[in-house]
Amino acid sequence: MSRGPESCWSRWPVLLLAILLVGILTACGGAPKPVYFPGYPIGFVERGVASWYGPGFHGNKTANGERYDMHQLTAAHRTLPLGSIAVVRSMSTGRQVTVRINDRGPFARGRVLDLSLAGAHALGMIGAGTDEIELRVVGYQGRAADMGVLRVQVGSFSDQQNAANLLERVKQFYPGGRIQVVDLPEGKRYRVQIGQFSREAQAEDAVSHLESSLGLQAFIFRDDG
């Protein structure tokens, strides 16, 4: 005997309850879904020179508040959102490794990434110290949060007065700059930085202007503090 419409409708509450239970169990038992904030650069690709940092920084606090562990697969990038997951491929050997961005750097012009000791070992670049790489963002781990402003670094000195002199020079173009003092294994460094930019195009214009006007070698980084 076929079931009439009334009999079918009577089953809907049971079916809905079953669907809800499956959804709840899936959410509880499965891996958490990644969360991407507006403008997240999934698929972002960058090529350039990578370096690595190790024993002198082991145990120091990283930009996201963690303690740097050189034996973990992490890396430092100047502008990518902290928590970004990137596949890094050596252009010379073809070897690749997946790392999580948890720190800021490298603070050296001409380099795009600072790998942990473990990441550098995976690519086979420890002996050489640097390598040509391709970086591709494939995911994100962590909570969505507002990203910090972009700043432009125009110099780094071991002598504080030299940093102060450069800051005075750039103030004619960008008032309100600062000197950031950092403790490195080789001693204190005084970094001269200007601007608080919300868009990379603005920061890139500042870099071009300062390089052409003052002959400086500048680069952009994200200030998460």
Condensed to tens digits (0 to 9), the pLDDT of residues 117-150 reads 999 999 999 999 999 999 999 988 866 555 788 9
What are the tokens at 38?
Answer: 């507006």
Query: What tens digit of pLDDT does each residue of 177-211 get?
Result: 999 999 888 899 999 999 999 888 899 999 999 99
In the predicted model, is pLDDT for residue 18 greater than 50?
A: no
Mean pLDDT over 1-24 rounds to: 38
Residues 6 or more apart in contact with residue 192 via CB below 8 angstroms? 153, 154, 155, 156, 157, 163, 166, 167, 170, 177, 178, 179
> Structural domains in the chain?
45-140 (2.40.40.10), 149-223 (3.30.70.1070)
Q: What is the pLDDT of residue 209?
A: 92
Q: What is the pTM of this model?
A: 0.73
In the predicted model, is pLDDT for residue 101 greater than 60?
A: yes
Mean pLDDT over 154-159 rounds to: 95
Report CA-CA distances (Å) from 68 to 53, 88, 153.
10, 19, 23
